[in-house]
Amino acid sequence: MTLQQALSLAILVGMMCLFWWDRIRFDLVALVTLLAAVACGIVPAGKAFDGFSNPLLPLIGSALILSAAVGQSGVIETLLRPLRPFMRTPSLQVGVLTSAVAALSALVKNVGALSIFLPVAMQVARRSKRSVSEFLMPMSFGSLVGGMMTLIGTSPNLIASSVRQELVGKPYAMFDFLPVGFGITLIGIAFLSFGWRLIPIRNTGQNSGDMPFRVEDYLAEAKLPENSPLVGKKVRDLEAMADGNIAVTAIIREGDRRYIPAGHWTLFAGDVLVLESDPHDLQKLVGEASLELVGVNPIAVDKDSQPVTTGDTAKKVEAKKSGGGSEKDAKAEKTDKAEKIEEKKPLDLGIVEAVITPSSPMIGSSTSGMKLRERYGINLLAVSRSGRRTATRLKNLVFREGDVVVLQGPTEAMNETLASLGCLPLAERNLQLGKPRAVFVPIAILAVCVVLSATELVPVGIAFTGGAVLVALLRILTLKQIYETVDWPILILLGCLIPIGEAVRSTGTTDLIAGWLSHVADAVPVYVTLGMLILITMLATPFLHHAAAVLVMGPIAATLAHQLGVNMDPFLMAVAVGASCDFLSPIGHQCNTLVMGPGGYRFADYWHLGAPLSTLVVLCGVPLILTFWPLH
């Protein structure tokens, strides 16, 4: 082992440890790893940023933009409506929704396909009076297997194609993944259609027929007014009033002092209670005990039903400074506007429940830090976080990806506000009637891109970049929406790890690791080696990232195939399958993270359905790979 190989291994092990530690975001980990590789001399300084010129990056960004355009058009919900009368049993409902997500994931990025169908699943669960947790995990897994069918469906396929191009000078074509991916998708959908029964369904006291979805208990704050019948009573009396379905996790009194109460504590007027409960019991208690939800403040709206935020206030102050009117005129205008707002407020305010997506600017910020009411004209009423009880005040709670929030604000401006916050509303989308051009044009653009790529008339990166430009020129999405749609942390991750992967290969480290694996591979049949590759990549993906797993395992698999004297394609396919099929955790892929909050899942819940599905993928994936990608 040379010094450069030892340094390469140390950097790889350090990167894996940082990914597993999960205290630093993955794109920052990639940047630290790249700088470490440059400092050690493994990556030349002049080639440190060559990864950002890789055509893989604009292809992934363009695919995300086209996914968002198709999702906003509403055409998918329109096409799905005729199938709803046939979804009478739970297995048929899960089967149809999972099949639809899987099919769409072959044409758009799988996380985009899942986001499109998430509101549809909420509506089906509400109408059938079933828990939404029965639908969301199978749909997430369906999007993962469906994405394996085409080059653009999932990042591991794109990266495996990039690795192949670097090694043999030719990438995979659009539908090279279809034979293996389609077979695994059929098997996966068949299993998920009845395997959903393995998902733990917890009774949170919520009636699925009354609520649009089922989540873990909400965290909310309520003030105890003087006229409440609970004044002078004990904490246990409050909890007994809700039949034990509400927990008082903290009491704020004496300013901002927070106490963790016992059951014998006395309640006083003015206390702010931090309550954990499902929405049904919380609403019932607020009514019976005359509580006042903290955060329900008047929201000013203008004549166009838009919230008056600090941006509007700043403009008025600037106008006043520039002499835009006398103080008397300003007071008269303010009084006139206040009267209009007061008249409109009862009609315009609405409440929406939404999940925080991975691209949301709310992640890592608190309620007070975001200034939701001042900047966005909305109130935060409650937060649901799966699998964790907290006594933190609502205003100090730091938002995380997958949190479900309850927001109050002007109804007409709510969609735009949620888009700005990067939140996905958990209700069925209303189609934008009167705009037929925006409904089918994204589908047509996507179809043209796929045809041009499949026939190899145009390189896939050029075809999809052109499609994304058309989306912008035709104003299907605004420029702001386009830049918010692109998953920049993923692109930074790839741009940093591509030169590291090349350095690991050029220093001979991949040969070294492949040599170690070949000692095992020589003692077992090739199909066992392929199964081991799929399994190792599956287990590495939650600790790394599905993209990083392919960048690390891809060159190793290709080198191992070379040492065994067989074709590298089956081995690259095995790595792509393993990285795509992360069914064991909510953190390895954005799809699993996206459904964790709305589904009310806990970390271990993914093993109940994911472990048998992973076993099926390994058992069925190996013969499919060997059938369509021969060793010689």
Alpha-carbon distance 43 to 572, whole Å? 24
232 within 8 A of 396, measured Cβ to Cβ: no
- The neighbour count for residue 388, using CB atoms within 10 Å, is 9
Number of helices followed by number of strands (H, E) in the chain: 25, 9
What is residue 387's predicted lDDT score, i.e. its pLDDT?
47
Give yes or no: residues 317 and 381 share one domain: yes
Q: Quick check: is 436 in a domain?
A: no
Strands 292-293 and 379-384: unpaired
Question: H-helix or E-strand containing 248?
Answer: strand 247-253
Q: Quick check: is 301 in a domain?
A: no
CA angle at 512 for the pair 508 and 516, rounded to the nearest 5°: 165
Q: Quick check: is 158 in a domain?
A: yes
The last residue of a domain, from among 293, 327, 357: 293
CA angle at 83 for the pair 81 and 91, rounded to the nearest 5°: 125
List the structure tokens of 238.
């409050």
Q: Quick check: is 277 in a domain?
A: yes
Give yes or no: residues 169 and 44 share one domain: yes
Give yes or no: residues 337 and 280 share one domain: no
pLDDT tens by residue, 559-590: 888 888 889 999 999 999 998 888 887 766 77
Residue numbers of the domain that contains 246: 218-293
Task: Name every residue whose Cβ is closer than 8 Å to that of residue 543 and which is 6 or more positions away in sequence.
Answer: 16, 19, 20
**Considering only CA atoms, which of 625, 627, 595 is closest in space to residue 610?**
595
The last residue of a domain, from among 266, 293, 320: 293
**Considering only CA atoms, which of 478, 486, 346 is closest in space to residue 416?**
478
Task: Name every residue whose Cβ is closer than 8 Å to that of residue 528 and which is 6 or more positions away in sequence.
Answer: none
Alpha-carbon distance 464 to 483, whole Å? 16
- The neighbour count for residue 368, using CB atoms within 10 Å, is 12
Alpha-carbon distance 513 to 523, whole Å? 17
Alpha-carbon distance 485 to 460, whole Å? 20
What is residue 297's predicted lDDT score, i.e. its pLDDT?
54
Give yes or no: residues 546 and 604 share one domain: yes
394 within 8 A of 367, measured Cβ to Cβ: yes
Give yes or no: residues 270 and 382 share one domain: no
Alpha-carbon distance 432 to 77, whole Å? 12
Give yes or no: residues 390 and 473 share one domain: no
Give yes or no: residues 475 and 618 share one domain: yes
CA angle at 70 for the pair 68 and 72, rounded to the nearest 5°: 65
List 354's β-bridge partners, or say none: 405, 425
Confidence of residue 185 (pLDDT cuts 50, 70, 90): very high
pLDDT tens by residue, 501-521: 788 778 877 777 777 777 777
- In angstroms, the first-to-last Cα distance of the chain is 31
Residue 154 CA, chain-centre distance (Å), reads 14
Which residue shows structure tokens 């993270």?
593
Q: Quick check: is 289 in a domain?
A: yes
Give yes or no: residues 198 and 222 share one domain: no
Alpha-carbon distance 459 to 467, whole Å? 12
Question: Residues 248-257: what's their mean pLDDT?
Answer: 80
533 within 8 A of 28, measured Cβ to Cβ: no
102 within 8 A of 190, measured Cβ to Cβ: no
What is residue 342's predicted lDDT score, i.e. its pLDDT?
42
Give yes or no: residues 107 and 145 share one domain: yes
What is residue 438's predicted lDDT score, i.e. its pLDDT?
56
pLDDT tens by residue, 467-503: 999 999 988 888 888 888 787 887 888 888 888 878 8
DSSP string, 345-383: HHHHEEEEEEEE-TT-TTTT-BHHHHTIIIIIS-EEEEE
Q: Quick check: is 115 in a domain?
A: yes
What is residue 334's predicted lDDT score, i.e. its pLDDT?
47
pLDDT at 82 over 80: no
Say which CATH number the domain at 249 has: 3.30.70.1450
Task: Name every residue whose Cβ is closer than 8 Å to that of residue 521 and which is 6 or more positions away in sequence.
Answer: 529, 560, 564
Give the three-state DSSP class for 501.
Answer: helix
Give yes or no: residues 415 and 457 share one domain: no
Give yes or no: residues 364 and 477 share one domain: no
Confidence of residue 285 (pLDDT cuts 50, 70, 90): confident
List the structure tokens of 427.
């209700």
Which residue shows structure tokens 């002007």?
410
pTM above 0.75, yes or no: no
List the structure tokens of 598.
């709305």
For residue 234, give Cα distances in angstroms to 223, 274, 342, 390.
15, 15, 38, 21
Confidence of residue 211 (pLDDT cuts 50, 70, 90): very low
Domain count, the chain: 3
Q: Quick check: is 271 in a domain?
A: yes
Q: Quick check: is 432 in a domain?
A: no
Give yes or no: residues 197 and 222 share one domain: no
The last residue of a domain, from among 230, 259, 293: 293
Burial (CB < 10 A; 0-12, 13-18, 19+), residue 271, is buried
